[in-house]
Amino acid sequence: MIGLRSLAKRIAHLVIRLLFRPAILSSLPRSAGAAVCLTFDDGPHRQNTERILRILEKEDVRATFFVKGKACELYPDLVRAVVAQGHEVANHGYSHLAPNEATLAEYVADVERGQRVLEAVVGHRVPRLFRPPYGRINVGTFLALWRRGYSFILWSTDSRDSYITEPDDVVANVLECPVGPGSIVLLHEDYDWTVEALPAVIAMIRSMDLRFATLASVRSFPVDVEVEFDAEEEERCA
């Protein structure tokens, strides 16, 4: 027979799991099976977005693009081209801030601005999927954005393409991470070597009997999140 204390503990665990379950993902849910999610950060990019789209189209792969609000304003047509090709677009902040580069209120406002710009450019609501720049989260940014309905999307497989210049090294890093069922692969739009490596990365993942998926295709995320802003609380955050 379960004692009251142990029952209360179980209920508390269940509540915490339900509350935070969708909040931080570094891999796909188990139900996604052999799916892998390719993610491209920091776009849209003047030259590379279209190059990446051509490769993905040829390979019949759908991917997830974490875009910067500021770049969306510069290249709205590229964002719309990404969506038109069936890919997922999500929020990477408006000006790519790290938590220590701003007050909490400024940081949250920047993420919200990124979401607003993205939705204005694509012309509809998009799930509140946020990839924190540099993968950096602290308790304050987590709680403030979680309360506003954001899920934090990190990664399990880092191509480390920001630190290398050879396409072969991008492929090797993805393989070594390793990549497998449920992996979320981190790539960037900025680099020629990432674009050049992409066909080989896709071929390697396919050779492992894995398939490609976007985040929202393997898990449902709320789209219509209405959050009331509390001016006093904003003041305290600052």
Which residues are identified as catalytic?
41, 188
> What number of CA atoms fall less than 13 Å from residue 214's CA on the CB side?
23
Give the C-alpha separation, 153 to 130, whole Å: 6
Q: Which of 35, 36, 42, 202 binds Zn ion (CB under 5 A)?
A: 42
Question: Is 161 near Zn ion (CB under 5 A)?
Answer: no
**DSSP state, 169?**
H
User: Nearest distance from residue 181's CB to Zn ion, in Å?
Assistant: 26
Residues 6+ apart with CB under 8 A from 82: 43, 44, 49, 53, 65, 67, 89
Work out whether 110 is an interface residue with Zn ion (CB under 5 A). no
Q: Which two tokens stand for residue 229?
A: 């802003």
Place of tokens 């190059």: 51
For Zn ion, the closer CB: 92 or 210: 92
Type of residue numbered 229: F
Asked, as a colleague might, if the bond just before 127 is cis with ω within 30 of 0, I would say no
Backbone angles phi, psi at 41, to 5 degrees: -100, 160
Q: What is the Cα 110 distance to its own chain's centre?
A: 16
Q: How far is the CB of 24 from Zn ion (least distance, A)?
A: 17
Please state the closest distance from residue 43 (CB atom) to Zn ion, in A.
9
- In whole angstroms, how close is the CB of 182 to Zn ion at the nearest point? 22
Instruction: Classify burial at 17, counting beta carbons within 10 Å of its beta carbon; exposed 0-12, middle 13-18, buried 19 or more.
Output: exposed
Does position 158 interact with Zn ion (CB under 5 A)? The reply is no
- Spatial separation of the C-alpha atoms in residues 40 and 159, rounded to whole Å: 11
Q: Does 44 engage in binding with Zn ion (CB under 5 A)? A: no
Q: Which is nearer to Zn ion, 42 or 112 (CB)?
A: 42
Nearer to Zn ion, 41 or 88 (CB): 41
**Residue in 37, 41, 214, 221 binding Zn ion, rule: CB under 5 A:** 41
CB of 159 or CB of 210, closer to Zn ion: 159
Q: 99 or 133, CB closer to Zn ion?
A: 133
Least gap, CB of 123 to Zn ion (angstroms): 24
119-138 footprint of Zn ion as x/- string (CB under 5 A)? --------------x-----
- Interface residue list for Zn ion (CB under 5 A): 41-42, 133
